[in-house]
Structure formats: structure tokens, C-alpha cells
Amino acid sequence: MNAYTITEAENQLSRLVDEALSGEQVVIIRDGKAVVTLAPAVAASPPTPMTPEDVEALRIARSKRPRLPKDSVTLVREMRDEVT
């Protein structure tokens, strides 16, 4: 474990980030107590491809939604014209 005061961390932040990214545990201390640990951010997992079953489930869910009385362009135009 590598421990640094806040002042040391301010002066060496780039190097400390590199240490944390390489797997080292980097701890920042204040008044002799550990207050922060630097660690790499967890990368988001790649999205899972949709299966044909997913597409079918979406199609069914969409078919159950009620239809709007007008298309969206007409509705937006009417809302815009009401304001002016």
C-alpha cells in the first residue's frame, strides 16, 4: 500500500493515477488517517445483442399500447400553435 498526504497527492496526481491503474493500492491520508483510496473505474460491460425473442417481445408490447388520435408531428404543431 502506498500512502500519500493530500499535499503529496496534489503534486503527484498523474503518477498516482497511473499507479492505481497498474493495480497498486494508493491511499491518501489526512491528519494521519486514510481518507481516500484511488482505484480504477469499473468499465461498463458491452451491451448484449438483442435476440429474436427480445424483438418479438418488444413488438408485442408495442402492439398493446394505445394509439394516439393524431400523428406526433400534428400534435407538436398544435402544441406550438397554442402557445403563440
Q: What residue numbers bound the domain in which 61 lies?
A: 52-83
34 and 57 share one domain? no
6 and 34 share one domain? yes
Number of folded domains that form the chain: 2
33 and 61 share one domain? no
pLDDT tens track for 22-43: 888 999 999 999 999 998 887 7
Domain for residue 23, yes or no? Answer: yes
The percentage of the chain sitting over the pLDDT mark of 90, rounded to a whole number, equals 67
Is the whole model's pTM more than 0.85, yes or no?
Answer: no
CATH code, domain carrying 19: 3.40.1620.10
C-alpha dist (Å) from residue 68 to 12, 64, 72, 75, 81 = 59, 12, 8, 9, 19
pLDDT in the model for residue 41: 84
Q: Who contacts 3 (Cβ-Cβ below 8 Å, separation ≥6)? A: 27, 28, 29, 34
